[in-house]
Amino acid sequence: MSEPLNLASVNVSVTPEEKFQEFLGTKGMRLTHERSLIVEEVFADHSHFDAEELVDRLKKRNVSRATVYRTLNCLEEAGLLRKVARTNDRDVYEHDYGYPQHDHLICGKCGSLTEFHSEGLAELLSSVSSKHGFLMEGHRLEVYGTCSSCAKPPKRQFRKLDMI
């Protein structure tokens, strides 16, 4: 989907698997081997993915498509994962736990996602919140447009007759 922004990870006292197990316990559910494999795969690196990509990555480990979809919903409900965008009629996810605040530029043509971090933006939002007596806990910004690759004019193929 895209290359992740090279931000340092945030120190967390509880691993994603432990946090998910705690969440599942509040729902009367348990952390099965398959769910554990899904958490391991999702948190192996910080990349954007859709459910079908995750299904493909977990096929060799005998994790069913249904289990992947159900577990993604639980991970999102637990606050460990979030939907970033919808491209090509698929939800795109990234893990949110243990990764610093950042925002996204989303290309409407090719679906590419570019992560960015801006202290100036954070300061502006803090200032606006303060002026309105609003206690800001965080923010999420998704900028939609066209990436530089898609914005380039198409290369024209010249026919031999055009060159005379």
* Per-residue model confidence as pLDDT tens digits over 120-133: 998 999 999 999 99
Question: Tokens 């300061």 appear where?
Answer: 123
Domain CATH number, residue 20: 1.10.10.10
Domain CATH number, residue 130: 3.30.1490.190
103 appears as a binding residue in the annotation: yes
Report which secondary-structure segment, H or E, holds 135: none
Whether residue 95 is found in the same domain as residue 68: yes
pTM, full prediction: 0.74
| Structural domain span for residue 29 | 12-99
Q: In what order do the strands lie in the sheet with 113-116?
A: 113-116, 103-107, 142-145
**What is the CB-side half-sphere exposure of residue 107 using CA atoms within 13 A?**
14
- With respect to residue 162, please indicate whether it lies within any of the assigned structural domains: no
* Per-residue model confidence as pLDDT tens digits over 38-88: 999 999 888 889 999 999 999 999 999 999 999 999 999 998 998 887 777
The pLDDT mean for the chain works out to 86
What's the one-letter identity of residue 103?
A: D
- With respect to residue 72, please indicate whether it lies within any of the assigned structural domains: yes
74 appears as a binding residue in the annotation: no
Whether residue 108 is found in the same domain as residue 47: no
110 appears as a binding residue in the annotation: yes
